[in-house]
Structure 1
Amino acid sequence: MAADSKATGTSSVSRRTFLHRAAVLGAATGGALSLARSVHAAGSGVIKVGLIGCGGRGSGAAANAMNAGADIRLVAMGDVLQERIDTARPLLKEKYPDQFVVDDAHAFVGFDAYQKVIDSGVDAVAIACTSHFHPVFLKAAVDAGKHVFVEKPAAVDPTGVRLALAASEAAKEKGLSLVSGFCWRYDDGVCETIKRIRDGAIGDVVAVQATRLGGPYVLRERKPEWNEMQYQFQNWYHFNWLSGSDPVQNLVHQIDNASWVLGDAAPAAAWGLGGRQVCTDPDRYGDELDHHAIVYEYPDGKRIYAHGRHIPGCFNQAAVIALGTKGQAFMPSRPHIEGENPWQYQAPETPVSMTDAEHKVLFQSIRDGKPVNDGRRMCHTTTLSIMGEMVCCTGKQTTWEQVMNSPLNYALPRYGWDVEPPIKPGPDGHYPAVLPGITELG
């Protein structure tokens, strides 16, 4: 499973919990009767789901979807790698014998598998594949009139963000639901903490600290039968063109929480530091940096200080601390407030999975015909994370407008195992790394 792996527990979410989340998130957008409601009302009562991306996170998303109700059926799945489907199918079938009904004819493999899943007669798709493809697959699903769960990030470059944002707006116009994988937005403790910050529990917020410090992503050893493109897809987290690098893959969760604290406002500018010190083994690690430090500067003087590192043997932390004039708020783990208005979140006796919760919101919206849409905030946070990666790679201060309008685009003209990847190791086996002060990114 990916370094940002998520729980797939089957804990139920109470009506009170569900309504609380909906109120905090502004989940239901109302409007026209959704496409799925008419389909659902006229059909058997079953919501058919297709899975795009069958690795650890994809399998987790499939489980979360089926946990959302007995009326959910997983009917199709697709991946570029046969082995991922072969691993996921028996595990999901064993755990969900009545809901997992993917037969051989609906287990698609290849770079066109996503379209085959979309065209297989499903009502909704869960996109949890290599992040490089998220915006293209999202657009294809919305174009086909499907409800969507799409993992974070929305894209790995500004061009992809613009595509994802356009698809999100199209989903809204079509009455389709779109839920993103920024799962802490669906966590009870974090939702309550944000509410208390809004109510003034820590006074005026002056800054937010966001940290995601841990070990490296899983690295699969190169096999003789793999060509370079196959190796990079097996280890896609380590290649910027596929993953967007650590701020876009991992630190993005903490950046999302920090942005939420500040009302999802746009920063005026950002600057940062980054480098590669440890994850530099030749012919193994790709081109991503192994540590980042980013400062987001807001027009009103507020700051987000974001730090990411994936180096073994170091202090680890995943935390967001909101600093106010009357105290500090700590999240997402063990949410609490210190200062003039101390508070500690009390979790319910039955743990609630935020990853189950986001799918419950999605599928309940389909049943009720009240579409939800996470698109704008999903794209906003993704842009923040890409901005952070860009300033660390270039060493330059960059404005929000520059990032929003950047032509940076990692998409290839064609995809296939016979295609040369955009980056390859040099004669010494090392993949070329960025050089702050010299590297330009759009």
Structure 2
Amino acid sequence: MTLMAERETGRRAPGHPLRAEAVRGFAPWAGVAGFLVTAVPSAAGADRWQGGWAETRTELHGVLLILLPLAAAAGCWQGGRERRRGTEELWGTAVRGPLARFLASALPVALWVTAGYLLAAAGAMLASWPYATGDRPYLDLLPADAVVLTAAGVAGQVVGRLVPWRVAAPLVAAGGYAGLGLSGRSGTGAGRRLDPAVPVAEHLVPVGWQPAAMAVWAVGLTAAAVLAYAARRRWTALPPLVAAVAAGALLVGSGDGLWRENPAAGRQVCDTSTTPQVCVNARYGELLPQVTAALSGVTRRLEGVRNLPARFEDHRGEPRDGEVQLPMLTPIGWSVVRGRLTDPEQYAWEAVMMLEGRGDCRELDPDLRLADDAVQHYLAPSPAERTFDELAAQGDEERRREFARRKAARAALAAMGDDERRRWLSAYFASVGACGAGEVPAL
């Protein structure tokens, strides 16, 4: 009947107001802003997350620190639209109830901002996929972040309806930035546990119920505010408020139990064909061939040498007995960019420094300093060694004498026969961690 009536009158039935709000006006532009605010900073810092799934998750979650206040400000601006146009009385005469009118205006803006965020998040995931070095995509926080973002946009609309100021929207944004910033600096207090934009370290994952509780906390507060403002029966705001309080109490009461160590971060994958063995964290397991290749010159020259650690390890905390720390692969953007070691020579030199284990020495025996330099030069010279040597050769007389002693020590180690050099290196590595010459024979 409706279709026949339309044909007879030559007029189309009016579309749903939600559709009209969604395709015209401010809402699509809010979605564009949400996309750009997520995509532009992420793209500018792609080196630090591209290729690491946990890093990508952390980057996308961290954007909420900027995007949540923006979504609230966008909702606030939309909420003051009728007041700016002078059509409040006309809007109040609409057939639909106040709650339906409110949602028809609030939801498009909030959902557009969320859609822009999710589109940028999907792009970031696709950008990480070709360079991922192990592990799996982390989507545990993304649904809850999207829900919280939508809730922020709707909550901002309530403020826009209640506050008759044109500057309300920028004030909401400024207040949001300040509030989230102060919450992030509050250590481990209750405010931090209720903060939906709290930074998440790459080695942590949330417990299974944490994202759901955070979503209930945010949506419950927003729903209570909306119902208290627009519902015919204001008491209907009580159930979502009770749900929000319960979720908030659960989040606060759980303390540090909201997060746990990423199980993948506690595992390692190893190449056992070398001495020392080379192990990398399972989160970056596909980097093992590159790391092994970068250290191949070192491990080849150490064949048959005694007193070496059993393996290079790559796990959180101090190395266990028989292990030495692998040079850091993280944070991404330094040693590793887009799934590739940036400087294998520098990485090998850092590995030799780890083997020597003299980072805690404030003063080093001069003979041991010469031995360290000779071993570094033999196993994996620093990429900057030539530059430092040239500077030393052009320095004052004392620096030139010191350089001459270093050259002589390097030459002495290089001139040894294979068996003699292995014996000398075995004695040298017996002194690992010591600050005095000890049992290391002179060069």
TM-score range, shorter chain: under 0.3
Q: TM-score, normalised by structure 1?
A: 0.24
Q: TM-score, normalised by structure 2?
A: 0.24
Higher RCO, 1 or 2 (CA under 8 Å, sep at least 6)? 1
Which one has a bigger Cα radius of gyration? 2
Higher share of residues assigned strand = 1
Higher share of residues assigned helix = 2
